[in-house]
Amino acid sequence: MALPFILWGAAALLAGTGVVKGIGAVSDFDDAKSLASRRVDVMKTLKSVYKNPVIRLIPSLKN
* Count of C-beta atoms within a 10 Å radius of residue 55: 13
**pLDDT score, position 61:** 57
Interatomic CA distance for residues 9 and 6, integer angstroms:
5
Predicted local confidence at residue 44, as pLDDT: 84
8 Å CB contact between 11 and 17: no
Considering its fold, how many domains does the chain have in total?
A: 1
- pLDDT value, residue 43: 84
pTM of the model: 0.50
Give the residues of the chain that fall short of pLDDT 50.
none
pLDDT value of position 46: 78
Q: Which domain holds residue 9?
A: 3-61
Distance in angstroms (rounded) separating the CA atoms of residues 36 and 17: 29
